[in-house]
Amino acid sequence: MNAPIDLIFQRRSIRKYTPQLVEREKLDLLLKAAMAAPSAMNCKPWEFVVVTNPDSLAQFRKQLPFGDRNAPAAIVVCGNPGLSTNPAARLFWVQDCSAATENILIAATGLGLGTVWIGVHPVGPFIRTVRQITSLPRTVRPLCIVYVGYAEAQKPARTQYDAGRVHWQKYGQSYPPPAEEV
């Protein structure tokens, strides 16, 4: 396998971190990777709030049901549909920000960091909590939080491939066998 595929298989959700701080240079690289993601009509509706303040991270842990991770950093991935000059592209901020999030997750793996994606959108109380902790304006919508840090323990690479969820040409149709097997 080549390196990009290896990184995808090595990426795992990490829920326990060492106290080691994440270097600013690595956080910057994660943000550059995020902004290299594709977006509908190249509108790039994303904005990011990097949180390293221990008090703010403690508020996430206390107030978000799935936010109780001990990571030393978090990246709040947000959509700002108003950044798009194309009204149709504004409808795709969730997809665009999800692509940016996946780039963060994979890039972090390549940098030796662990991450976990914590969903925020579309749950109203989660959105309000994140908005309050990070002082987001009403026009900016939090999609998720990506906790970032050094993993307390390594997890083995894996794929979750399931051929039963793959359909060819039409739903419910499996891939036809090679001609020599027919």
Q: What is the pLDDT at residue 180?
A: 61
Q: What is the pLDDT at residue 4?
A: 81
Q: What is the pLDDT at residue 84?
A: 86
Q: How many CB atoms lie within 10 A of CB 118?
A: 22
CA distance 109 to 103: 10
- 162-167 mean pLDDT: 92
Q: What is the pLDDT at residue 156?
A: 94
- The residue extents of the domains of the chain are 3-156
- State the CATH architecture for 3-156: 3-Layer(aba) Sandwich (3.40)
CA distance 75 to 136: 13
- 102-120 mean pLDDT: 98
Q: Is residue 50 a contact partner of residue 75, using CB atoms and an 8 Å limit?
A: yes
Q: Mind listing the pLDDT tens digit for each residue in 20-29?
A: 999 999 999 9
Q: Which amino acid is at 122?
A: P
How deeply is 112 buried, as exposed, middle or buried, from its count of CB atoms within 10 A (0-12, 13-18, 19+)?
exposed
* Percentage, residues of the chain above pLDDT 90: 87
Taking the C-alpha atoms of 154, 25, 92 and 133 in order, what is their torsion angle to the nearest 10 degrees?
Answer: 90
Q: What are phi and psi of 5, to 5 degrees?
A: -65, -40
- 147-172 mean pLDDT: 94
- 118-124 mean pLDDT: 98
The SS3 assignment for 81 reads: helix
Q: Mind listing the pLDDT tens digit for each residue in 79-107?
A: 999 998 888 889 999 999 999 999 999 99
pLDDT at 17 over 80: yes
CA distance 71 to 76: 13
Largest CA distance in the chain: 64
- 41-64 mean pLDDT: 97
